[in-house]
Amino acid sequence: MDLNTKISKGIIKYQRFYKRFAKYNLLNFYYFCRMNKIKIIFKFLKYRFKSQTKFDIHSPFVYELLIKCINDKKKYLDYIVIENLRKDLLKNKKTIEIQDFGAGSLISSSKTRTISEITLNSAKQKKYAQLLFRLIKYFQPQNILELGTSMGISSAYMAKAAPNAQLITIEGSNNISEIAIENFRELNIENIIVKTGNFDNILKDVLKENRNFDFIFFDGNHRKEPTLKYFQQCLSYKKPDTVFIFDDIHWSEEMEEAWAEIKNSEQVSMSIDLFFIGLIFFRKEFTKQHFIIRF
C-alpha cells in the first residue's frame, strides 16, 4: 500500500470517527472546544469506553434513576422559557466588572466581561441544566443550596422544577448576582434567595441558618482544596437522603483528585460519574458502589 493510499484511508477513518463523535455528543464536543483543553477529549473518550448504559446497571435504584430521570426525553415547558432567557443573555453586550474567587475562566482572565461572554462561558450548558431540573423534579427536595449562581440559569431550572421548595444560591460577584436577581424576576421565580459574597466567608452562616439541605449543587470553585473544604462543611448539614451534585469533576487534575477523595469518603455510599457532573449519595441501605454512566 503506497503512502497516498495510507493517508487517504487515515483521513476517511478520522472523518468517520468525527461524525460518530459529533452525532452522539455534539454539545459535549462544543464544550470541549470552548474549554480549549485537548487533554479532556482523551479523558472523555476514556469515559465513553468505561461508561455503562441501562443494560449494564444492576442496581434497582440507579436503573430507575437512569430510566425515569437522567434519560428522560420529555420537553418540559419550563425548558423553553429559560432557554429564551439564555438567548437574550447571549445577545447582551453590556460590560460589567466581576469578582472571581474561584479557579477563574479557561476562556478569559479579564475582570471585565460582557454578559454574553459570562453566559457563554459560565452558565450551565442546556443539557446539564435540564438534567438538574429533572433531578430536582425526581427527588423533590424542599431545601436546595447552590454554590455559584452566575446568570441564574441553573438556579432557574432547579427552582422551576420544585416551586414549593426554597433554593438558596450563593454568588461571589455582586454585579453578577444583581443580574441573576433581575433574571429571576423576569421568569416570575419567587422561591430563590440570593446570597452574595466569598463562599469562605458566608457558607458557614448559610448552613447554620438553614440546618439541613436535601440537595446541594457545587458549582462555584473549581479547585481541589476549596471544593473539599465546602464538601466537608456541608456534610454536617446533610440528611440520609440528601443528594450532592458536583460540577466539572474532570475539569482539571485538581478536580479529578477532589472527586476521587469525595466519592471515597466514608460517609458516601454511592457515586455516579456523568463526566461533566458527579452525583453523590449517602443512603445507608446502599452497598458502596461507584458508577460511570453514559450521558
Q: Which domains does the chain have, with CATH numbers?
A: 3-50 (no CATH), 60-292 (3.40.50.150)
pLDDT band at 278 (very low <50, low <70, confident <90, very high): very high
**Percent of the chain topping pLDDT 70:** 84
Q: Tell me which of 58-72, 89-103, 105-119 is least confident.
A: 105-119
Cell numbers given for 38: 485537548
The whole-model pTM stands at: 0.84
Q: Which residue in this structure is represented by grid cell 446541594?
A: 216
Instruction: Identify the CA nearest to 167 among candidates 124, 98, 259, 148.
Output: 148
CA–CA separation, 58 and 285 (whole Å): 15
Average pLDDT over residues 231-256: 95
- Mean pLDDT, the chain, as a whole number? 87
pLDDT tens readout for residues 21-72: 444 444 554 555 554 457 778 888 899 999 999 999 999 999 999 999 999 9
Please give the DSSP secondary-structure letter assigned to residue 142: S
**Residue 104 scores a pLDDT above 70:** no
Per-residue CA distances from 50 to 21, 196, 277, 278, 294 (Å) = 16, 40, 16, 15, 9
CA–CA separation, 143 and 101 (whole Å): 25
Q: Tell me which of 121-125, 162-166, 242-246, 263-267 is least confident.
A: 121-125
